Structure 1
Amino acid sequence: MAYTFADLFEHSVDAMPDRLAMIVSAEEVTYRELDEQANRLAHHLEDAGFGVGAHIGIHMHNAIETMVAIIAAFKIRAVPLTVNFRYTADELRYLYDNADLEALVFHRGFADRIADVLPAVPRIRHLISVPDVLASWDEVEIPGAVRYEDVLAAGDPGRGFGERRPDDLYVFYTGGTTGRPKGVVWRHEDIWRVLAGGIDFYTGEPIADEYQQSRNGVAAGEAMRWVMLPPLIHTSAMMPTFNALFSGNTVIMHPTFDADRVWESVARHRAQVMVITGDAMGRPLVESFREQDRDTSSLGVVASGAALFSAAVKDAFFDAMPNLMISDSVGSSETGFGGIGFATKGFEQHGGPRVSGNKYSVVVDDENRALAPGSGGEGRLAKLGNVPIGYYNDPDRTAEIFRTVTGLPADHPGGPTQRAVVTGDRARIEDDGSITLLGRGDMVVNTGGEKVFAEEVEAVVKAHPDVYDAIVIGVPDERWGSRVAAVLCARPGVTPDFESVEKHTRSRLAGYKIPRTFWMTPEVVRTPSGKPDYGWAKRHAEANSPTHRID
C-alpha cells in the first residue's frame, strides 16, 4: 500500500486525467497537466541532487505553481515546507535555518526580502524563481536562481520515480498565536488518515485502500467544485485541497482573499463547497453577499476550521442562504482532525465549536487521565490514534505536548493507555460524549482567580451589531491582577455605543468575563490563517490610550 501524497494524487491522475484539477484566477489545469508539470519540476530537483528527506521551502501565494512545487517534492520523497509569506526578514531567517531548508521555490514578488535573508542561511543551495501571480516578475531577480518557466520547458513530463514509503515525512510549520514557528513532523500515512480523507470524517472508520478516493471520484461521474480560501501555508487549506484532489474534484483558489471576488467566482464556476477560516473570512463574506446579486445558488456547504466561527456569523449565513449546510471542524497542525460539528440557526454557542464525540478525541485532566462523558469535567483536548512524530528540532517541546494518556476504556482501540497529543485547547466533555472547545489554554485571562477564555468573550462581543471584529486580551489591573479588555473595530460608519456593548455582554456572560477596557482600531490584525494576533493586540493596548473604560 502506497499511502503517500504523491501516489494518492497519481491515482486520481490515472483515473481522471482530463478532469479539471485547479482554477486559479484565469488559469486552469487538468489532472494530467498538473501531473506533467510536477514531473518536470521533480526531475529537475532530482538532477540538482535532491531526494529522500531533502527540505524544500515553498515561499509562494496560492497558485497552480504552488501545488506543482509541493507535489513535485512529494514525488521524489523530499519534504516541502510552505513558508508564511507575511513573515518579516527576522522570522524568515529563523524559519529557513530551523527548518534546515536546502532549496527554495519562490514567487518573484518576494525576491527582495528573500535576498536579504539568504546570506544568513548558507544551507540553501538552490533557488527557483516563479512568475508572480501578483507582481511583475521582471522587477527583481536573485543571482543564481533558475527560472521556473525554463525548468518546465526543459523537464521530462513522464514519471519514472522510485518507490515511495508511507513513513515518508511531511513537515508543517505553524506559528500558532504566540512564539516562534514550530515544525510539526508527520508520517504521510498518519496525516493522510486524519486530515486528507484516509479516515471517514463522519464515521471515524479508515477507508478501504489507497484507491478508494479516486474510485469514488470516478463513480461520481463529474467533479465537485471546492472554493479553497485560506492560504496554502496552513493545514486548513492544504489538507482539504489534497482531499479534493485525491477524490477527483476541482479546487478553485485566489492568490489573496477578496470577498466580492469570491462570490463572483462561486457564480461563474458554480462552486458547491467553500472552505473558510472562521469569522475572519465568514463575516466579510456574508456582508458582501448581501450586496451582490449574482447567482450563487450552487453553493451548498460552508466548511470552517482553524479559527473561531461564532454563532452570530453562522446565523448571518443562514439568514442569507437558508438552505446552506455549515460545518465547523476542530483540529490543528499538531492533532489533525479532531471532530466536526454542524450548525443550526439560533444555537447558543459558548466558546468554540461543539463537535460530536469520536474514539480518537478525548478530554484529559491535569494528570492526563481521560474524562468520561457525564463527568461534566473540563480539561485539555487530546488526540489519539494517528498523531505526529513530534516537533522538528525541538525535543523539549515534543516531550511537553506528546504524552501518555490513561483511563481509556479497556475495549478502546489501542488499549486503555496510549500516546497522544495533548493540546493547549481547553475543552469540556458533555453528557452525550460530544466535546465543546472553550478556548486556547494560553489565551486565558486570570482575573481575581477566575479564568476567562478569550474566544468565548470574543464570540459574544462580535455578536453586537456595532462591532465588526474584536480580539480579547488581559491587561494589568491593580485589584484583580488582570482585567478583561478588547481591541475592536466597528462596522463602517458606526460609532460603538459602549453602554450597549456592556449590556449585551452582561446578558450573556458572567460579570467577571465582561471586557472593561476597550481600544478602537481601524482594523483588527489576524494571522494569514485567520487566527487572532494576540501579540499585536497586546502591543496596541500598551502603546495607546484606551477608547473607553468601565470602572
Structure 2
Amino acid sequence: METPLSPLEFARRARKLYPDREAVVDGDRRYTYRQFLDRCERASSAFQTLGVVKGDRVALISPNTHTNLETYYSIPQFGGVIVPINYRLTADDFVYLINHSGSKIVCAHPDYFDAIDSIRTQLPNVEHYIAFEGSHDGWLAYETLVEQASPDFHRTEVAETDLLSVNYTSGTTSRPKGVMITHRNAWMNSVGVLVHMHMTPSDRYLWTLPMFHANGWTFIWTVTAVGATHVCLRKVEPLAIYDHINREAVSLLCAAPTVLIGIANGPEAQRRAVRPGVRVITAGAPPAPATIERVEGELGWTITQAYGLTETSPFITICEPLPAHDELSAEQRALIKARQGVELVTSGETAVFDDQDQPVPADGTTLGEIVARGNTVMRGYYNDPEASAKALKGGWFRTGDAAVVHPDGYIEIRDRLKDVIISGGENISSIEVEGTLLRHPAIIEVAVVGMPHEKWGESPEAFVVLRSGHSLADGELKTFCRASLAHFKVPTSFHVVAELPKTATGKIQKFVLRGKRAAIATQ
C-alpha cells in the first residue's frame, strides 16, 4: 500500500478538497485550484507533444509568474526534470547551465528573450524555446500551447527517488554545481515547513522569494498542500510588497535578509500603513537582530529564521520559538531569533562536528562545522561524482558553515568555512570574482571577501595589489567587472593594498581582511 512521497500528491489533494478556492493571483489573472491544475495538466500534455519524456530536463528563466509556477507541476508530474535558473545571471552563465544540465527545452519570460537569442548558436541540445508570455520570433507561445493541448496527458509512473529538479548553486567554486533534488526530498521539506509553520487554507502567500531559489524553498508545493493562495510578485520592491500585502490580505511570505531590510526601511507612511500580523520566514544569511526588532516592533509581524542550503532541499534547522522566549525582552528575543535553531521534524539529523567528526560541546563557544544527514539531503551533484563524494563524505553532508551549539541546543553560525559570499540571499563565488579581476592588466594579486552591508546583509569587497608602474582610474574596476559578471557579483568597493596578508605557505588569510579592513593601508 505504499505510494511515492512526492509534492505532486499535494496537487491531487488540492483539486479534490479545494477546487473552488483561489489558488493563484498574478496581476489581473486569478485562478481557482480547478482552473490552475487544469492548466498544469494541459501544459504537461503540451510538453509531451514536444517530445519531453521522463528524465528530460527543462530550463526555466523567469520571475515569479503564474506560468513559471505551473511548470513546477506540469513537467515533474510525468517524470520530467525542472532546471530553475537564476535570471539575474549573464548570458554566458545561461550557456553553461543550460548545456551542463542537458536541457531539451528553454522556457523564458520576455525580459530574457534577447539574452537567450544571443546565445542560441551555443546551445546545440535545445530543441524548443517557449515564451512564457506573448509571442516572439522563433519561440513557441506558452499560452497557445496550453490552450490547444489536450487535458489528458500520459501519466508516467514517478518514484520518490526520481529526480524532480536540478538546482544550480555556485558554492565556493567558479563553476556552479547542479544539486539533484528528488521528489522525496521536496516532499519532506514541504511537510516539515507545515509542521513548524501551521499553515491553513486561509493563508495567502506572497512570492517575495524567487521561485528559482531552491524551488522557492519548496513553497511552490507547500502552499498548495493546504489549499492556500499563491500571490505572485514579479518585482520585489518595498512599495509593491506593501501594496500586495494590503490589497491581497497577505498573511505569509519568505524573505532573504535584503528583502527584510527593504521592508523595514521603506517609505515611512506606507510602511506604517501596512497590515500587521504577517508571518515571515527568513533564510539565506543571518538577519541582524536590529532588523528583526524593527520588523516585529514597528510592523507587528512575526519573524522565524530557518537555515539550510540548496543541497538540503533547503531547510535543516528552524529557530522554533519556545514558551520561555515569551518572558524575554524584545532585544533578547531578537538575539535568539537571529540563530539558526534546531532540526525540523522531517529533515533528519543535524550536528556540529569538530575536525575529528565528533560533536562539539553545547557551550555556545566551541566552533565546528554544521553537518547533516536525512531525508532532505540531495542525491548528489549532477554529473559530478567527485564533488558529490566530497560533500557527502562519511555519510554526512558537509555544509562548510562554522557554528556553535548553545546549551539549549540551538545552533548559531559564526563564520563560513567556505569563502562563499551571501549577498541579498544570492551565493557569490569569490573565486569567480577573483578570476575576473585577475584578467585586468593592472592587477597582480586579488582577494575578494564578504563584508557586512546595511542593505544586502553582506557584499563582496575586493583587495587588489597592482603591478609595478600601473594605476587605476576611478570606477575602472567596477566597469571592468560589470562587463563579465552579473551585477550582484560586482564588488561594492575596491581597496588597493601594498600586499595581502598570507600564511607561511603563501595562502591568503581572508579572515584578516574581513576583520581588519580598517587597519589595511590603502593607496
Deviates further, 236-245 or 39-48: 236-245
Which residue of 142, 149, 154 maps to 2:148? 154
- Name the counterpart of 1:233: 212
Does 2:337 match 1:360?
no
3-state SS in 1 of match to 2:202: coil
Shift of the alpha carbon at 1:454?
7.3
Aligned pairs for 1:83-94 within 5 A: 83-94=85-96
Alignment map for 1:412-423 (pairs within 5 Å) = 419-423=395-399
CA deviation profile, 1:172-203 (whole Å, cap 9, x unmatched): 1123476222110122112321x212576549
The alpha carbon displacement at 1:290 in A equals 2.5
Does residue 270 of structure 2 align to residue 292 of structure 1? yes
Q: CA deviation at 1:369?
A: 2.7
Structure 2: tracts of 5 or more residues without a match: 322-328, 422-447, 466-476, 498-516
1:270-285 maps to which residues of 2 (within 5 A)? 270-278=249-257, 280-285=258-263
Which one-letter code corresponds to 1:382 in the other structure?
A: V
| 2: CA distance, partners of 1:187 / 1:43 | 22
In structure 2, the partner of 1:101 is 103
Cα distance in structure 2, aligned partners of 1:70 and 1:162: 16
Tell me if 1:248 matches 2:236: no
Which among 405, 412, 421 is matched to residue 429 of structure 1? 405
**For the Cα contact (< 8 Å) 2:15–2:33, is it kept in 1?**
yes
Deviation at 1:299, TM superposition (A): 3.2
2:303 maps to 326
Residues 4-83 of structure 1: pairs in structure 2 closer than 5 A = 4-83=6-85
> What amino acid is the match of 2:148?
A
- The separation in 1 between residues aligned to 2:291 and 2:317, in whole angstroms, is 20
Aligned-pair distance for 1:390? 0.6
Aligned residues, how many? Answer: 445
CA contact 1:357–1:433 (8 Å) conserved in 2: no
Counterpart-to-counterpart distance in 2, 1:31 and 1:286: 33
Q: Deviations over 1:268-311 (max 9, x none)?
A: 11111121111x11111112262216753353312111233111
TM-score, length of structure 1 as denominator length: 0.73
Tell me the SS of whatever aligns to 1:339: strand
What amino acid sits opposite 2:382 in the alignment?
Y
Q: 1:337-486 to 2 correspondence within 5 Å?
A: 337-341=315-319, 345-347=330-332, 349=335, 353-356=339-342, 360-374=349-363, 376-386=365-375, 387-404=377-394, 419-443=395-419, 458=452, 462=454, 471=459, 473=461, 475=463
Residue in structure 2 matched with residue 536 of structure 1 by the alignment: 490
Q: C-alpha separation between the residues in 2 aligned to 1:175 and 1:444?
A: 8
Structure 2 match to 1:492: none
- What amino acid is aligned across from residue 314 of structure 1 in structure 2? I
Q: TM-score, normalised by structure 2?
A: 0.77
Deviation at 1:231, TM superposition (A): 1.1
> Paired residue for 2:162?
168
Shift of 1:82: 0.8
CA distance in 1, matches of 2:59, 2:94: 11
Superposed displacement of residue 326, structure 1: 0.9
**Is the Cα–Cα contact under 8 Å of residues 255 and 283 in structure 2 kept in the other structure?**
yes
Q: 1:330–1:338: 8 Å Cα contact kept in structure 2? A: yes
Q: Deviations over 1:353-372 (max 9, x none)?
A: 34135662111122333334
CA distance in 1, matches of 2:362, 2:127: 54
Displaced runs of 4+ in structure 1, greater than 6 A?
A: none
- Equivalent runs, 1:110-149 vs 2, <5 Å: 110-131=112-133, 137=134, 140-141=136-137, 143=138, 145-149=139-143
Once the two structures are TM-superposed, the CA of residue 263 in structure 1 deviates from its matched residue by 0.5
Which deviates more, 349-358 or 118-127?
A: 349-358
| Aligned residue in 1 for 2:177 | 182
Deviations 1:367-400 (A, max 9, x none): 3333343484311111111111110111121122
Question: Tell me, what secondary structure is at the counterpart of 1:346?
Answer: helix
Contact 2:23 2:36 in 1 (8 A): yes
Matched, 1:316 2:294: yes
Query: Take 2:228 and 2:123, find their aligned partners in 1: how far apart are those partners?
Result: 39
Separation in 1, partners of 2:60, 2:10: 21
**Secondary structure, in 3 states, of the residue corresponding to 2:262?**
helix
Output the CA distance in 1 between the equivalents of 2:41 and 2:267: 40
**2:31 partner SS:** strand
> Does the residue aligned with 1:334 lie in a helix, a strand or coil?
helix
User: 1: CA distance between counterparts of 2:192 and 2:17?
Assistant: 18
Label 1:294 to 1:376 Cα distance change in 2 as closer, same or farther (>3 A).
Answer: closer
Distance 1:392 1:57, change over 3 A: same
What fraction of aligned residue pairs are identical, expressed as a percent?
19
The 3-state SS of whatever aligns with 1:436 is strand
- Match of 1:424, SS state, is strand
Kept after mapping to 1: 8 A contact 2:8/2:77:
yes
Aligned mates of 1:60, 1:99 — CA distance in 2: 17
CA gap 1:189/1:31 in 2 versus in 1, 3 angstroms: same
Take 1:433 and 1:28, find their aligned partners in 2: how far apart are those partners? 44
Contact 1:174–1:234 (CA under 8 A) maintained in structure 2: no
CA 473–68 in structure 1, closer or farther in 2 if over 3 Å, else same: same
CA 11–422 in structure 1, closer or farther in 2 if over 3 Å, else same: same
Q: Which runs of 5+ in 1 are unaligned?
A: 132-136, 204-215, 405-418, 446-452, 478-518
Amino acid at match of 1:304: T
Question: Retained in 2: the 8 A contact 1:58–1:70?
Answer: no
CA distance in 1, matches of 2:47, 2:259: 36
Per the alignment, residue 486 of structure 1 pairs with none
